[in-house]
Structure 1
C-alpha cells in the first residue's frame, strides 16, 4: 500500500528492460509522468529505453528538444512512426531475445507499435481525435505477455495516468537521475537535498544550463512525495 492507502499494482516482474513509450504529438510527452517511470525503473535496476512515437506528426521538430533533454542521462532513445515505418527495425533489435515491459501513457501508440513489429497480434488500438474515441483512451485493459517471433517477450501494459514511486528513499532519489551523478557528493553539506541548501553543486549545474530544468523539477516533485 502507498502512504495514502492506495493499492500497489505490480505490472510485471523479472523483466530485462522497460520500453518507455511517449507520443511526440496527440498527446505530447508529459515529463512529470515520464520521469517517474524512469526513476521507478532505475530503482528496480531495470534498463530503460525511451521510445518517442508518432514521429510523422512531429511537424514542429520537437524530437530534437526531447533528445537534448534525455540524451545527457545516457538513456537509449528511439524515434518511431508506424505509418512511415520509421525506427521499427531498430525497435525489433532492441527487443530481440529480451523480456521487455512496454510502459507509457494512454494514446502513446504502444499497441500500434507492437502490431507493426509483430504481424498477427491484432492488439486493439485507438485513433486519437476521431469521433467516439477520446484522447488518451485505454485500448489495453490489463498487462499481457506476448511472445515475439523474432525472439523475446513483451509485456504490453495498460496506459499509465499516474505513477507513484513506492519504496524509494529520499537519500537515494538523486542517484536515480543519471545526469545528476557528476555533481553528487560535491555539495557543501553531505546530506544536501539539492532543493534549497547553499553550496549545492547540483543547483549550480542547473543554473549553468548543465541540468535540464524539466528533469530537476521532476526530481523536486518526486522528493516532495517521499516520506522524511
Structure 2
C-alpha cells in the first residue's frame, strides 16, 4: 500500500516553518552602563542618583516584569546628564542585600516589595494623638526581623504622654528606641541613623513627615493632621522617597503612612532566627512545632521550666509570632 501522497504531489513537500531565521544568543554587554540608585518611583518613571546627578529613567524592555523599587542599585545607559527632558534606561538591577516586604492581607500570597537594600527599619509611633497601635508595631517588627534588618522604635510626641508604658512592652525583646518631642533635640535619633540606610514606617499622623523635614531641611515633605473624630491621620506622602542626610551621615527612606502590614510571607522558623538565644532552645522541638503558646512539648516551655529562659522574653516573642495572624487593632 502506498501513502496518500506521492513524491510528485505538492502536499508531499514539507511546508516552510515559521520564524526560520536563526536567533542570536548574543546580548548587549552594556559595558558603558553607569551605576545608580533608585530614589523614588512615579508612574513608570524612576528618579535615580548617578554620580551625584539626578537622572530620570525608564525600565528597559528586557527586564520584563522584574520590579524596580526605591533603594535598588541599578545600571543605566542612555542620557544620564540629568538635563530637563532627558531619559535614561535601567538595563540591570543588582542583587539586593535586604528586601522589606509586606502583603495586602494576611491571606494574600502576593508579596509587595516596599524598599530594597536598607539595613534599618525605624518604626515611628506617636505616644498620643493618635494613640499607639501596638499590634501594628509588632507586625512592623516581624517584617524587620524577617528582612534581617535592625529595628528601631522612634516614639514621638513625648510631651503628650509618658513613653514608659509602651517601652515596657518591648524592653524584653531588646529593641532599641529613641524618644522625641515637638521642637526637641534630635541628636539621639541622628546618632541612631548615622551611617545607615533607614526606612521610616508608621501610620498617618504619627509625625513621620515632621521628623523627615527636621532631619533633611530641604525635603519639604507635606505635614498632615489628625482627625479629631476618628483619631487617624491623613495621608500626606504618596510614594517612597530616599533622601541623603546632611554631611553624608546616611540615608533615610520616607514611606507613605500605612494602614496595614500583611505578613503572609513570614514563616515561624524565619522569625525565631532573629532571636538566637531562643532559637537554640528549640532544637529539640517536635517536628513542625511553630513555637506558639499552644504547642505541646515546645522547647521554649521546657527552657522556662528549667529556668534557662526569661518567661517575659518568651511571651514577648510569642506575641510577635501571634501578630502574623492577629487583627491589627
TM-score norm. by structure 1 comes to: 0.79
- Do the aligned partners of 1:126 and 1:139 also contact (CA within 8 Å) in 2? yes
SS at match of 1:105: coil
Task: State the shift of 1:209 in Å.
Answer: 5.3
Q: Which residue of 2 aligns with 1:95?
A: 193
Q: Pick from 21, 38, 41 the counterpart of residue 124 of structure 2.
A: 21
Q: Does 1:81 align with 2:184?
A: no
What pairs up with 1:173-212 in 2 under 5 angstroms? Answer: 173-176=271-274, 178=275, 181=278, 184-185=281-282, 189=286, 191-193=288-290, 194-202=292-300, 205=304, 210-211=312-313
* Unaligned ranges ≥5, structure 2: 1-102
TM-score norm. by structure 2 comes to: 0.57
Query: Which one has a larger percent helix, Structure 1 or Structure 2?
Result: 1
Q: Which residue of 1 aligns with 2:218?
A: 120
Superposed CA offset, 1:77-115 (max 9, x none): 1111133x14x1111112223211111111111110111
Calculate the aligned-residue CA RMSD, in Å: 3.1
Query: Which one has a larger percent strand, Structure 1 or Structure 2?
Result: 2
* Unaligned ranges ≥5, structure 1: none
SS at match of 1:26: coil
Higher relative contact order (CA 8 A, sep 6+): 1
How many corresponding residue pairs?
Answer: 217
Task: State the shift of 1:51 in Å.
Answer: 0.6
Larger radius of gyration, structure 1 or 2? 2
Provide the rounded CA distance (Å) in 2 between the counterparts of 1:186 and 1:91: 38
Q: Specify whether residues 150 and 55 from structure 1 end up closer, same or farther in structure 2 by C-alpha distance, changes over 3 A only.
A: farther
Provide the rounded CA distance (Å) in 2 between the counterparts of 1:81 and 1:49: 17
Q: Pick from 150, 155, 170 the counterpart of residue 70 of structure 1.
A: 170
